[in-house]
Structure 1
Amino acid sequence: MTIGIDKIGFYTPHLYVDMNDLAEARDVDPGKFTIGIGQEKMAVAPLTQDPVTLAANAAWEIIDDQDRDAIDFVIFATESGIDHSKSAAIYVHQLLGLKSGARCIEVKQACYGATAAIQMAKGHVALHPESKVLVLGSDIARYGLNTGGEVTQGAGAVALLIGQDPRIMTLEEPSVYATEDIMDFWRPVYSEMAFVDGKFSNEQYLAFFNRVWEQYKSESGLALKDFAAICFHLPYTKMGLKALRTILDEGDEAVQERLKANFQMSQHYNRNVGNIYTGSLYLSLLSLLELQDELKAGDRIGLYSYGSGAVGEFFSGILQPDYKQHLHVQDHKAMLNSREALTVAEYEDIFKSTLPTDGTTVELDVEQDPAPIVLASLADHKRQYLSR
């Protein structure tokens, strides 16, 4: 039995700020953001979008009635949770109309969470071959206005349906991983903003990549030449390129050119959405699959996942026949092209706007949000969602 990605969906809010405009407002050379960091646009979430709605919207486009009957496990990976107790997966379960006979949990380990969820899903499907697992990676990255991390913010979600005989990509063994207790990025429970030691985090990202890559080669017997592409967790797109460059000399010129060209395809969506934490690696994979027409069935794609704190993992997948027919290329193109540009002042106003934390009732203006699923109101400390 083969297990892997049967469907994949993606959602990002309808608002963004252009990095050239942000650079001008921050009195920074635009090239520092667009070239040095590698970001063009940053998705901005209005109050009507939170991690639950982002995930539900991402899953909405891929789930059909047959899936609703088969899904018996929903795993929601996030580091932007809305409740210390209740799983965000339960809200999505209800919004999607999934059957009651399902497990719903939330998992957390910085940006690595969705990869942990996928590996957990593989084990579940191995034990229950007729089941499907819905994995959600959904986050809103916030570092604060006028901070070093501001340019690496973003918002969005990726939904993956994991099952047997997948139509997009089978997931291979081995999967190699490593953990070390470090403080490169963290967000205490009392803080709305994350803290990051940027230089240290970059160093650890690269160190973990090289550690798991070497171990992966040893355990798998594979080499750089065996990969059509390698996708990376992209807190910003230049970070993945730095990691790729550390191993390029292991391949000949043709291999190097192939991997560099495919990396450029894999970073396009991230470059125009920003950092979505748990979903970033899989947004990169989606960008590659939807934009690169030269990939073919049987191609091996490497996947590097990193979550600060820190856990790193490297694994791979094999593209399936006609995989492209099961993607939503035009829908995603239309979604990205229809977004509205904000001025920096408008972006700052949205960033500063917050939901009440004292139980105050508030009705949100959902008419300004074109998403199928929105956060409509808060009352008695409860969030009320609307599926249109």
Structure 2
Amino acid sequence: MAIGIDKLDFYIPNFYVSMDDLAKARQVDPNKFKIGIGQTKMAVNPVSQDIISMGINAAQDILSEQDKKDIDMVIVATESGIDHSKAASIEIHSQLNIQPFARCIEIKEACYSATAAIQLAKDFLSNHPGKKVLVISSDIARYGINSGGEPTQGAGAVALLLSHNPRILELNDDSVAYTNNVYDFWRPTSERYPVVDGKLSKDAYIESFNTVWNEYSKRTGYDVKDFESFCFHVPFTKMGEKAFKTILNENVEDSIKNRLMDAYQESVLWNRDVGNIYTGSLYLSLISLLQNHTFQPEQKVCLFSYGSGAVGEIFSGSIVEGYEKVLDKEKHLNMLDSREQLSIEEYETFFNRFDNQEFDLERELKQDPYSKVYLESIEDHIRTYKIEE
């Protein structure tokens, strides 16, 4: 029986910074951000949007009452965890009113863990006919004001409902994973921000992609021409492009190269305006691809997932007929277009208030029609969420 992605949605906070403004403030050429790393905007989250509220906001519109009865597992993939013990999925499960006899867990491996969650969900569903699994990737990428990684920050969440007989993407049984112990990016528990070796991180990403692609191709017999498109984890949009070009060599016909590279650009349209959302970056890219590229039923999409440290995985999915009817492109475009632009001074104020957990709800909740849930307060380390009717 076919298993895969039945529903997809995302939530991006209502504020952003222009890369032009950030470049001017940091006294660098704007093309360093807009062309060099391929970013135009950077999502900024207020204190009232954490990984839990963003995850709920991403999932709330796609779940029917029947879905909530059928969901047997809720998995949150994140590297922005707010508790070393309690899983974020427990709060999300409660706020979404999912039936009580569901397993709730949170998993971690840098930006890769949403893919691990999907594979876990797929294995679970193979033995549980009629059940569903909700996977939520929710993250806040923060490197510090005026840091080297600042232009690759971002925030957001992606929700994926996996089921039998999916209506968007059927997951194929061809995944290949690769693990290599490397210190390219990591987040010690004693540190507020990640530790990053920028050059090593880029090299490790490309090395992981090439290694796992070669193994995947060897095991499956697939070549680039067998796919309608490729989708990458994109900490910034030029990263996936650089890796992709390493396999679009002289042995690949120009017509195929052009087709695949055009599809790649369609896949990162929304990532350019959001920034890095860690575990959700690959799946935001997938949504962008599905809503900006025209597919025929059963065409294959190849997906590359990467998490620093490092784990890489390639797997594929087959397009389901009528997939476009399940996705709400108008909502997604409106969400991205209706965000409020922050000045650099406002952005820095937001950033510092987040670090200090200083709420300003009147400012933060201004004109965000896509947020029905927000973090209202934190007292004695207990978080209280408010649901807007």
TM interval, short-chain normalised: over 0.9
Change (3 A) 1:362 1:35: closer
**1:319 is matched with which residue?**
319
Contact 2:47 2:359 (C-alpha < 8 Å) held by counterparts? no
1:131 corresponding residue in structure 2: 131
The DSSP-based 3-state class of the residue aligned with 2:192 is coil
Distance in 2 (alpha carbons) for counterparts of 1:145 and 1:252: 44
Write the deviation string for residues 46-78 of structure 1: whole angstroms up to 9, x where unpaired: 000001111110001211111101101000000
CA distance in 1, matches of 2:32, 2:334: 29
In the alignment, which residue of structure 2 is the partner of 1:259?
260
Q: Distance in 2 between matches of 1:362 and 1:324?
A: 39
Q: Secondary structure at the match of 2:354?
A: coil
Hey, what does 2:380 align to over in structure 1?
A: 380
Map of 2:366 onto structure 1: 368
TM-superposed CA distance for 1:180, in Å, is: 1.3
Residues 167 and 323, structure 2, Cα contact 8 Å, conserved in 1: yes
For residues 332-361 of structure 1, give each alpha carbon's deviation from its aligned partner in whole angstroms, at most 9, with x where no partner exists.
Answer: 01101100000011000100113668xxx9
Q: Is the 8 A contact 1:364 1:375 kept in 2?
A: no
Q: Say whether residues 1:48 and 2:48 are aligned partners.
A: yes
- In the alignment, the residues of structure 2 paired with residue 101 and residue 323 of structure 1 have an alpha-carbon distance, to the nearest angstrom, of 30
Give ranges in structure 1 of 5+ residues lacking alignment: none
2:115 aligns to what? 115
Q: How many residues align?
A: 384
* Contact 1:134 1:160 (C-alpha < 8 Å) held by counterparts: yes
2:58 counterpart of 1:58: yes
Closer, same or farther in 2 for the Cα pair 1:275/1:72, shift >3 Å? same
Tell me if structure 1 keeps the 8 A contact 2:46–2:354.
no
Would the aligned equivalents of 2:2 and 2:170 in 1 still touch at CA under 8 Å? yes
2:322 is equivalent to residue 344 of structure 1 = no
Distance 1:170 1:330 in 2: 24
Give distance in 1, aligned partners of 2:240 and 2:345.
31
Residues of 1 paired with 2:261 and 2:220: CA distance?
23
| Preserved CA contact (<8 Å) 1:362 1:379 | no
Q: Is the 8 A contact 1:362 1:378 kept in 2?
A: no
For 2:149, the equivalent position in structure 1 comes to 149
Does the alignment pair 1:246 with 2:246?
A: yes
Aligned to 2:185: 185
**2:72 is paired with a residue of what secondary structure?**
strand
Tell me the secondary structure at the aligned position of residue 273 of structure 2. helix
Residue aligning to 1:330:
330
Contact 2:233 2:281 in 1 (8 A): yes
Task: Verify: 1:289 aligned to 2:290, yes or no.
Answer: yes
On the 8 A contact 1:180/1:311 being kept in 2, the answer is yes
Pairing 1:214-233 to 2, within 5 Å after superposition: 214-233=214-233
* Amino acid aligned to 2:139: D
Shift of 1:369: 6.2
Amino acid at match of 1:55: G
- Paired with 1:381 and 1:248, the residues of 2 have a C-alpha distance of 50
Residue 126 of structure 2 aligns with an amino acid whose one-letter code is A
Task: Give the letter for the 1:268 counterpart.
Answer: L
Deviations 1:140-183 (A, max 9, x none): 00000111100000000100001111000001121001111110
Given that 1:363 and 1:378 are in contact with CA atoms closer than 8 Å, whether structure 2 keeps it comes out as: no
Query: Does the 8 Å CA contact 1:17/1:43 hold for their aligned counterparts?
Result: yes
Equivalents in 2 of 1:68, 1:39: separation in Å? 37
| Separation in structure 1 between the aligned mates of residue 124 and residue 346 of structure 2, nearest angstrom | 45
Which range moved further: 248-257 or 212-221? 248-257
Moved more, 186-195 or 21-30: 186-195
Offset from partner CA, 1:81-104 (integer Å, 9 cap, x none):
011110000111011111101000
Question: 1:368 Cα shift?
Answer: 2.9
State TM-score, norm by structure 2: 0.97
Q: Amino acid of the residue matched to residue 191 of structure 1?
A: E
Question: Secondary structure of the residue that 1:21 maps to in structure 2?
Answer: helix
Match of 1:88 in 2: 88
Q: Indicate the SS of the match to 2:314.
A: strand
1:228 aligned partner, one-letter code: E
Are 1:212 and 1:314, in contact at CA under 8 Å, matched by a contact in 2?
yes
String of CA shifts for 1:81-138, please: whole Å, max 9, x gaps: 0111100001110111111010000000000010000000001100102110000111
Could you tell me how far apart the structure 2 residues matched to 1:58 and 1:372 are? 10
CA distance in 1, matches of 2:355, 2:197: 28
- Counterpart of 1:139 in 2: which secondary structure? strand
SS in 1 for 2:39: coil
Query: 1:381, CA displacement in angstroms?
Result: 1.5
Matched residue, 1:270: 271
Instruction: Kindly state the Cα deviation for residue 364 of structure 1 after the two structures are TM-superposed.
Output: 4.3
Q: Which moved more, 1:202-211 or 1:376-385?
A: 376-385
Q: TM-score, normalised by structure 1?
A: 0.97
Separation of aligned partners in 2, 1:238 and 1:362:
35
